[in-house]
Amino acid sequence: MTRKRRPPIAPEDFRAAGGLLDRRIFLAGGLAAGTLSSSSAGAEPLSVAPWMKTPGSPFTPYGQPSRFEDKVVRVWTNPPNAPGTGAARTPLHVLNGTITPNGLHFERSHSGIPDVDPDAHRLVIHGLVRRPLVFTMEMLARYPMESRIAFIECGGNGGSLYQKDPAQLNCQGLHGLVSCAEWTGVKLSTLLDEAGMEPSAKWMLAEGADASGMSRSVPLVKAMDDALIALYQNGERVRPSNGYPLRLLLPGYEGNMQVKWLRRVKLTEEPTMTKDETSKYTILTPDGKSLQFVFPIEAKSLITQPSPGLTMKGPGLYEISGLAWSGYGKIAQVDVSADGGKTWAPAALQQPVLPMALTRFRMPWRWNGGPAVLQSRATDETGYVQPTRAELIAKRGGKTIYHFNGINSWGVDESGEIKHVYA
Amino acid sequence: MYTPSRSIALALALGTVCSVGCAESPNLGRVATPEELAPWDISIGPDGAGLPAGSGTPRQGEAVFIAKCVACHGEKGAGKPNDQLVGGRGTLAGDQAPVKTIGSFWPYATTLFDYVRRAMPLNESKSLSNDEVYAVVAYLLHLNGIIEENETIDARTLPKVRMPNADGFVTFTRGK
C-alpha cells in the first residue's frame, strides 16, 4: 500500500505569522523527505533491550503507571494548620487527549477527604417536597443510569492571572484546577420527581458529608435539566478525592457547586446563602459590589504543549496542542497565534466535540528559532469569544480570583525556554 | 441567567412533573420522618428558619474564641495563620487590596451561625454546643462593630442583624 506524501511545506501552507501552518498539514500524510529528517551520520546499530530477553513482571490487582512516569503527579497547596484543605492540580502539560486519569483529576477539598463507608452513607432529599426520601447506596445502584463526559473546573482556576505581574508557574500551577472525566450515575431529576417537588421550590441546597459539610445552593432548573448523581468516574467508582461514594455533577458549572460526598438535597424557595456562595466564589468588582451566582464557566482555552518546562528542542516543525472548554455548550472554534495575538489561524478540533467537555485542539507550527508569544482563543457555540486578559480585567478589575477566562500567553525565547507572560 | 430546556420550564411552571412518584420510576427511596431528618437538617438561610434554641453574648463568646479559635484566627480575629475575621471595612471599592472579613464582606449573619456550627473548629467540627455557637457569633459580630457588647444573639435576634455589606451583591447576568 502506498500513501500519497505531501510536498514539503510551501509558502501557501502558512496561515498566520510566526510559522503557524494549515491545520490539515499533519492529516495529509507524511511530509516529503528533507523536511524533518535529521542527520544519520555515525549512528550505532539499535540494541535489543534486556526486557526483550526475560519474562516481564506478573499480574497486579490494580494497574499503576510506568515507574518512568513518576513525575506525572498532582501538586498541591494548603493553608497552615489544614493539610486537607486546599487544592491539588492536574498536570495538564504532561497529559494528552481529553480524559483525565482518575488519580490525576484535580481536587479541591474544604476539610480533607472523608473516609465514607458506603454502607453507612445515605442520600436524603427533603425540604419543599411531598415525600422526603432517604436512599441507601444499594438503592441508588438499582436506578437507571446515564453517562456523560464533562469537565469540572474550580471557580478559582487561573486566579493568579488577575495579578499585576505574570506568576512564574507552569500550566499545572496556573491552570491545573480543570479536569474531564466520563461520569456515570442517576439523573437527579428522577429522584426529585419521586419526591414530588412543591410549586414554591426554586432552589436546592446540596450538602456534602465531609467535615466542613460543604454546601451550595443550586437553581432547581439546573437540577432538573442535566444534574447527575455520579457514582462512577471513568468506569470505576468515584475516587474518594472526588466524592466517593457519590458526587453531584452539574455540567458546565463551577466545581464548588458539584458537591462531593453528597448526603443531602434540600429544596428551598430561596438560596440558603451559604459561606461558599457569599464570602467565597463571588466576584468583587472595582465599584465595591460583588457578582453573585456566577455559575457556568465561560469559554476558555489554554495551550498545554508547548508550555513552561517543556523547552523547545531547536527550530523545526512542532505540534501546538491544548484544551478548550465552555460551560455554555460546545466549543465552535479555537484560533492560535504565535505573535501575541496580532495574527490568528484556526486550529483543528479533535472529535468528538462534546458540550461542557474538554476539547483538544491541535495546530502545526514551524518554529524558526526566534522569539514567539503563543496564545489560543476559544469561541463557543453561543458565539461567545474568549476575551484577552486586558479586556477581562478592564471589565472586572483585579480584586478577585474567580472565573478567570482571559487569553493565556506563553513567551518562547531564542533558547527555546518558555515562560508565562502577559501580552 | 441560564437557559432551561422548554420541557423543564413548563414542568416547573405547572408545579410538578410527577406528583407523587412516577409510575415508571423505581421508587426505592424510603419516606423519611422529620424526627429522623432533624440531626441532618442543619442549614440556616437568611430568614433564620431552623435556628435552634439557645443564646450567647459577646462576653461568653470571647471565652469560646480564646479556647477554640484564636490559634488559627489570631487575637480578636485579626487573622494569621488563617483567615482574618475582623476589620477591612472600606477596602472593597477602588484599587486597594480588599480585606474580606465577616464585618467587611459577609452579607448575612445567619451564614456565620450555619458555617461555624457545621465546619468549625476545623479539627473538631460540630463539637460546639448551640450556646457556644451563638456566643462566638455574638463575639465576632461585636468585634466587627455590628452589635453592642450587651446584646444577646439567639434564634430571634440573629436574622435581624443587618450586616454592613448586605447590599454589596448583584446577581450575575451573562453578558453584563
Dmax over CA atoms of chain A, in Å, equals 81
Considering only CB atoms, B20 lies closest to which of A130, A190, A213, namely: A130
Tell whether the model's pLDDT for residue A179 goes beyond 80.
yes
Q: Contact A72/B83 with Cβ under 8 angstroms?
A: no
Q: Verify that B78 and B144 share a domain, yes or no.
A: yes
Query: B23 and B109, same structural domain?
Result: no
Residues of A (127-166) whose Cβ lies below 8 Å from B: 130-135, 139-140, 142-144
The cell numbers describing B121, all together, are: 473548629
d(C-alpha A395, C-alpha A398), whole Å: 9
Closest Cα in chain A to B31 = A133
Candidates A125, A140, A272, partner chain B, best to mutate (most B CBs within 10 A): A272
Is the predicted pLDDT of residue A127 greater than 80, yes or no? yes
Of B16, B32, B169, the CB nearest to A132: B32
Q: Taking 80 as the threshold, does the pLDDT of residue A36 lie above it?
A: no
> Residue B120 maps to which CATH number?
1.10.760.10
Looking at residue A38, its pLDDT comes to 66
The residues that bridge with A6 in the sheet, in sequence order, are: A31
Position B166 in a domain: no
Chain A residues 20-49 within an 8 A CB cutoff of chain B: none
Inform me whether the pLDDT recorded for B18 exceeds 80. no
In this structure, are B12 and B83 located in the same domain? no
Based on the domain organization, do B64 and B148 belong to the same domain?
yes
More confident residue, A161 or B1: A161
Per domain, the residue ranges of chain A are 122-274, 300-421
**Residue A64 reports pLDDT greater than 50:** yes
Question: Is B46 a domain residue?
Answer: no
* Three-state secondary structure string covering chain B: CCCCCHHHHHHHHHCCCCCCCCCCCCCCCEECCHHHHCCCCCCCCCCCCCCCCCEECHHHHHHHHHHHCHHHHCHHHCCCCCCCCCCCCCCCCCCCCCCCCCCCCCCEHHHHHHHHHHHCCHHHCCCCCHHHHHHHHHHHHHHCCCCCCCCCEECCCHHHCECCCCCCEEECCCCC
What is the count of structural domains for chain B?
Answer: 2
With residue A123 as reference, give the H or E element that holds it: strand A122-127
Mean pLDDT of A2-13: 76
**Cβ distance A344 to A16 under 8 Å?**
yes
Q: Is the pLDDT of residue B62 over 70?
A: yes
Cβ contact (<8 Å) for B171 and A189? no
- What fold does the segment set A122-274 form as a domain? Sulfite Oxidase; Chain A, domain 2 (3.90.420)
Cα–Cα distance between A165 and A175 in angstroms, integer? 16
pLDDT tens, B81-132?
Answer: 999 999 999 999 998 999 999 999 999 999 999 999 999 999 999 999 999 9
Tell me: do B103 and B25 sit in the same domain: no
What band does B138 get if pLDDT is binned at 50, 70 and 90? very high
In a domain, B42, yes or no: no
Does some domain include residue B61? yes
Q: What is the pLDDT of residue A275?
A: 98
B136 in a structural domain: yes
Helix (H) or strand (E) holding A237: strand A236-237
- B49 falls within a domain: no
CA distances from B114 to A73, A215, A233, B51, B66 (A): 36, 10, 31, 9, 20
Return d(Cα A363, Cα A79) in angstroms, integer: 39
Confidence of residue A28 (pLDDT cuts 50, 70, 90): low
Specify the higher pLDDT residue, A43 or B60.
Answer: B60
Q: pLDDT category, B141, cuts 50, 70, 90?
A: very high
> What is the rounded CA–CA span in Å between residue A292 and residue A350?
34
**CA atoms of B143 and B135, how far apart (whole Å):** 12
**Interval B124-150 mean pLDDT:** 98
**Residues within 8 A of A (CB atoms), B 73-132 only:** 81-82, 92-95, 97-98, 100, 102, 105-108, 110-111, 114-115, 118-119, 122-123, 125-126
pLDDT digits (tens, 9 = 90+) for A187-209: 999 999 999 999 999 999 999 99
DSSP state of A240: G
Over the stretch A331-389, which tens digit does the pLDDT of each residue have?
A: 999 999 999 999 999 999 999 999 999 999 999 999 999 999 999 999 999 999 999 99
Rounded to 5 degrees, φ, ψ at A387 are -80, 165
- pLDDT in the model for residue A42: 83
Residue type, B2: Y
Instruction: Flag whether B114 is in a domain.
Output: yes
Half-sphere exposure of A79 (CA within 13 A, CB side): 17
pLDDT higher than threshold 50 for residue B3: no
| CA separation for the pair A233, A6 (Å, rounded) | 42
**pTM > 0.95:** no
State the average pLDDT for chain A.
Answer: 95
Q: Supply the pLDDT for residue A37.
A: 58
CB contact under 8 A, B17 and A295: no
On the question of pLDDT at A321 being above 80, the answer is yes
Backbone angles phi, psi at A72, to 5 degrees: -90, 85
Is residue B78 located within the same domain as residue B121? yes
pLDDT at B8 over 70: no
List CB contacts of A73: < 8 A, sequence separation 6 or more: A91, A104
Q: Is the peptide bond before A352 cis (omega within 30 degrees of 0)?
A: yes
Say if B172 falls within a structural domain. no
Per-residue model confidence (pLDDT) at position A3? 61
Question: What's residue B7's pLDDT?
Answer: 44
Residue A119 has pLDDT above 90, yes or no: yes
Question: Where is pLDDT greater, at B80 or A28?
Answer: B80
First to last CA, chain A: 48
Is residue A297 predicted with pLDDT exceeding 50? yes
Question: Are B130 and B99 part of one and the same domain?
Answer: yes
Mean pLDDT calculated for residue range A314-340: 98
Among the residue ranges A77-86, A91-100, B129-138, B144-153, the one predicted with the least confidence is A77-86
Q: Is the pLDDT of residue A220 over 60?
A: yes
- Same domain, yes or no: B125 and B65: yes
* Residue B27 and residue B95 in one domain: no
Strand ranges of the sheet holding A133-136, from the earlier edge strand across to the other edge: A215-219, A203-208, A262-268, A122-127, A133-136, B30-31
| Collapsed DSSP state (helix, strand, coil) of residue A161 | helix
Taking an 8 Å cut-off on Cβ atoms, the answer to whether A225 and B8 are in contact is yes
Q: Which pLDDT score, from 0 to 100, does residue B23 have?
A: 60
Pairwise CA distance, residues A90 & A174, whole Å = 10
State the DSSP code for A18: T
d(CA B110, CA A269) in angstroms, rounded, equals 17
Share above pLDDT 70 across residues of chain B, in percent, rounded to a whole number: 86
| Domain around B60 | 55-160
Task: Give the confidence band of A29 by pLDDT, cuts at 50, 70, 90.
Answer: low
- Chain A with chain B: Cβ pairs closer than 8 A: 199
Do residue B107 and residue B75 come from a single domain? yes
Considering the domain architecture, whether residues B94 and B138 belong to the same structural domain is answered as yes
Comparing A216-230, A284-298, B15-29, which segment has the lowest mean pLDDT?
B15-29
At the second CATH level, the architecture of A300-421 is Sandwich (2.60)
Residues B94 and B18 in one domain: no
Residues linked to residue B174 through DSSP beta bridges, in sequence order: none
Chain A residues with CB inside 8 Å of B30's CB?
133-135
**Confidence class of residue B6 from pLDDT cuts 50, 70 and 90?**
very low
Give the pLDDT confidence score for residue B24 in this predicted structure: 83
- 8 A C-beta contact, residue A409 and residue A338: no
